[in-house]
A and B are shown apart, each in its own frame.
Chain A
Amino acid sequence: MATEYQHRFRSGGRGMLCLGASVFLLLGSIGQLHATPRSEADLATRLAQFALASGQPEKALARIGRVESETSSWVKAQALVATGQTAAAHELLKRQLNGRNHRGDAALLLARIAQREGDSLRAREHFEAAARLGFGETRQRALYQLAAMELAAGKPDRAGQRLAEMDSGYWAALGYMNLAASYSEIDRNAARPLVALRVALAMAEKDAKGDRSVALRNRLLVRAGFLSYQQEEYEKAIGFLEKVPLDSYHTPRALYLHGLALAARDNHRAAMQSWHRAKKFPLAHPGVEDAWLGMGRGYDLAGYLGQAGEAYLAANASYESERVTLRKLAARIREEGAWKALIVDAREADTQWFLADNRTLTQPRMAYLLRFMESAEAQQAVAQVADLVALETGLAERERNLRVFRGSLADRLSTPVGPAMASGKELGEKSAQLRARLEALENQGADPAQLALTARTLGDIEDALATLESRVGQRNARLRQLKSRLDGMLGGMESLRRRAGELRQQAEAALDERVLAYVEAQDKRMVYALDKSEQQIAHLYEYLALESLQRGSQ
């Protein structure tokens, strides 16, 4: 299997590189890759490409350096965006837009930058360009964004036209889901939203990426189930909801709605079975608090009033206990910060492996975290802190490494070269002896091919020893130069780490504020649920009292 042959880089100008790029594209299109880089610049670009995919944009930028080609410029632009240098990336992306490759991708990236900067007009222009110039996922994403913009402008019909241009798959399914939501806001009748959801379900089937398509399908099924229930089409609702698997993030809501649809068909026993299952999930999930109430109502309607009272009391107790959990969570957030209390601690896997799969669905704190993270603003706030924590940790680690290098350079500078030179002389004598032995063997008629490798290695050693003195002479100057570069870098590193620390504190404070507001809103939700359960208990007792009065008067 092992093959060994030499390969030299062909030196070539820009024209050569362009020709090479065309050949590369042609080969790529028929499934063959140009495995060997054609030049140092090509190697640097392809190494940067991999570094970027590995989530190391800084390394990608270092690899690219001053390499100039269309592909390298595209990789550099992506790395610049990933490291927050959008102004520098902007120029490169605009140039890319007028180039030959990645035009659609560049337009999409420009659109996203404009969107982030709040310039919706420019964002629309770039999305249009991405839809026109891009292929595959790039084009689909651009069309999805354009449809979303039409929906945001209150033009669902134009959004529908945009969606009609899309290919079946994940992005089209998402688009139709949004269209259904938009129709639900306008129409009293759920016919149009349901049609849109059915299209979305069909589109999601075509998505090749398993996990995201399953998650989206479950979301669509719950929505379709809810809309059908609202339209009093209970059979249809049950049909949709029964397709949601029991280990999905959307299961609690689906179970609650399933129970509602069954109860509407007077099948209280089956409804209570669904709600009983929904009760197993944390109260953070929507529908769970209503499932607790539903149990009481189910007993009530089935005529078991005593059990109905017990169920309402149990619901009451669970809401009270959830309020205690929320108060404790808020106290921990105030004490340790939201980043530590909610996010870092959620990563700690102290669960047994056989329970690990259900962690996200059964742990209250994790459930609150996931619910909180559903909003885009929350994701941005958490991403800011995460970025800064990663920067700070990375800088601290690099600083530690630099201090070790600095120590080692200082040691090497203080090591006298005399003994090394003396051992160099000894090595020289040894190599001379070995050379003599080698020549003697050759003279004795040994096969030169057998000795060729040894002779070459010995030659390399002799060359290295011959230049030892001059290299040792340059050693101290080089070490001093490296040490002064290190000192400068250490200073820069310290100041950057301080800045990162200050910014992290600001970002954490903003996150704390947001999470505490969220926890407070959840507490209010529990208070509301508590009010409802207390009202139900009051009604039940009132009814029982009236009944016993009536029985007494008879």
Chain B
Amino acid sequence: MFAPQQVTDSGRRACSPAWKGVALLLVALMMWVPALASANDLESEINRLKADVADLASELYALEEAILHPADTQVAVFLTLATKDALQLDSVELFIDETPVSSHLYTDLERQSLQQGGVQQIFLGNLPLGDHHLKAVLTARTDNDRYVRREASHRFRKEPGESRIQMTLDARAPDFEPRVAFREWK
């Protein structure tokens, strides 16, 4: 009488740990998958938000330029390098009519970008029509391992419409003396 029952029981005993294992695995999977999904959801939601913010930022950027810097009085100063490795730029300060208007300390990445042809808009502002005086103070390390501080100045005339001034830094062998050239774009 007991034999078949025992067989059935032992069969149950043999199966039950496996089923239990499968069930536990399923439960674990059910718990793990939503956790993973929610982590991915958060990541993709953050990416969507970043994209929306980037869109709005470009729109805002154009609007700010329209409101803050009307084309008629606008003056922009751009900085470029003429030689790739001759100058490790540390900082640049700009003065217009003896008033400090902009200063920048360079990171490695920014220096690298300038060395690869990047252009920095170092100043954007408004000036009345007429004559003005632009002064740049730069500190840099030259290729012959000298730490230098140099001043350069440029007189320009603000005319109606956008005024754009390019400031090019250069230092050539053998003395690696930094030179600043100004050029006005029309």
Task: Give the B-binding residues of A (Cβ under 8 A).
Answer: 1-9, 24, 28, 31-37, 43, 46-47, 49-50, 52-55, 57-59, 61-62, 65, 79, 83-86, 88, 384, 387-388, 391, 394-395, 398, 401-402, 405, 409, 453, 456-457, 460-461, 463-464, 482, 485-486, 489, 492-493, 496, 499-500, 503, 506-507, 510
Contacts and interface: CB of A to CB of B under 8 A. Distances in A.
A46 B118 contact: yes
A226 to B, nearest CB: 33
B9 interface: no
B75 interface: no
Interface string B93-131: 000000000000001011011111111110000000111
A52 B120 CA distance: 11
Contacts of B120: 47, 50
Q: Describe A's contact surface by its main secondary structure.
A: helix
B69 interface: no
A50 B119 contact: yes
B26 interface: no
A8 B152 contact: no
Contacts of A1: 152-153, 179-180
Nearest to B119: A46
Interface in B145-186: 152-157, 159-160, 166, 168, 170, 179-186
A83 B50 contact: yes
B60 A489 contact: yes
A33 B160 contact: no
B46 to A, nearest CB: 6
B39 interface: yes
A269 B63 CA distance: 72
Contacts of A50: 110, 113-114, 118-121
Given A84-B50, A84-B51, A510-B42, A53 B153 contact: no
B7 interface: no
Given A54-B110, A500-B49, 11 more contacts: A2-B182, A50-B113, A50-B121, A58-B54, A58-B61, A59-B57, A84-B50, A391-B53, A394-B53, A460-B159, A464-B160
Contact of A85 (B50, B68, B182): B50
A32 B82 contact: yes
8 contacts: A46-B118, A47-B78, A58-B58, A84-B51, A391-B53, A405-B68, A482-B63, A493-B56
Contacts of B59: 489
A392 to B, nearest CB: 10
B72 to A, nearest CB: 8
Nearest to B160: A460
Given A2-B182, A9-B185, A84-B47, A53 B109 contact: yes
Contacts of A9: 185
A3 B159 CA distance: 18
B117 to A, nearest CB: 5
A-B pairs, 9 with minimum CB distance: A84-B47, A62-B58, A53-B113, A84-B50, A58-B57, A50-B118, A83-B54, A46-B119, A49-B118
B183 A482 contact: no
